[in-house]
Amino acid sequence: MVISHDSARVITSSIDGTIIIWDLESGAVVQEWLAHDSLGGVIDLALSLDSRRLVSAGGRTLAIWAIDSDVASQAGALEGHTSDVKTCAWSPDGTLIASASWDGMVRVWDGDSYQQRDMVSVTPLSGIYRRDLKFSPDARCLAWMSYPQGCHVWTPLAGTQPIVLPPHPDRRDVDTMAFSFDHESRRIATAHGSNDSDPDVSVVRIWDVETGAPLAVLTGHSSRVSTIPAIHV
């Protein structure tokens, strides 16, 4: 589910393959269409900066939809994944689209030409959490979570490999539950915990986005930290 940047509409998707655009004030259906007929329907959605285009993930493909008229029309397709797509994201400046798939790749596409610009192999593939692919506010970095590695921060188009931010320096049973960039895209916060609700590992860690250096550890929770909003540090 995504909300338009002017907060006027909400866009939802379903495992039946449909996408519905609703008017938030009246609750009326503005548009409805079948976007993907693959098993599993529509897995994820991402909206362009101007809210005029929508990317939907279903099966092995991503479809670009023009939604600024009375009837949605397909404006393009992102093809290249060899297995089902798990998640997608549109950069805040509108220039890039990212996707992650069961094929073990995170791919980055041009937001206007829809051509692939970059890709990186993800290990382990099965550990990419669904709907947790996010660009930094300045659109320069891309981050995602995986188990047991933790949070990965990558700078597409720079020719570099992702920086891995581990959930714990020693223990393998600690998981990364959530992450969030600060508004200046200089730091990233990661939330952690374990199945045994150990308060010693139920912490928030602050990292330098550029270097991956640890900056601070915030303690106080008695069980795993499950969410974290955008940070101001």
Q: pLDDT by residue (tens digit) across 68-89?
A: 998 999 999 999 999 999 999 9
* pTM to 2 decimal places: 0.91
In this predicted structure, the answer to whether residue 48 has a pLDDT above a threshold of 90 is yes
Residue type, 109: W
Mapped to the 3 state alphabet, what secondary structure does the chain carry?
A: CEECCCCCEEEEECCCCEEEEEECCCCCEEEEEECCCCCCCCCEEEECCCCCEEEEEECCEEEEEECCCCCCEEEEEECCCCCCEEEEEECCCCCEEEEEECCCEEEEEECCCCCEEEEEECCCHHHCCCCCEEECCCCCCEEEEECCCEEEEECCCCCCCCEEECCCCCCCCEEEEEEEEECCCCEEEEEEEECCCCCCCCCEEEEECCCCCEEEEECCCCCCCCCCCCECC
Map out the domains of the chain as residue ranges.
2-136, 166-233
In this predicted structure, the answer to whether residue 124 has a pLDDT above a threshold of 80 is no
**Where does the pLDDT of residue 40 fall: very low under 50, low under 70, confident under 90, or very high at 90 and above?**
confident
In this predicted structure, the answer to whether residue 148 has a pLDDT above a threshold of 90 is no
Return the CATH number of the domain spanning residue range 2-136. 2.130.10.10
pLDDT of residue 195: 86
- Note whether 109 and 151 are within 8 A (CB): no
The residue written with tokens 């909400």 in the block is 10
Residues 199 and 227: their CA atoms lie apart, in Å, by: 16
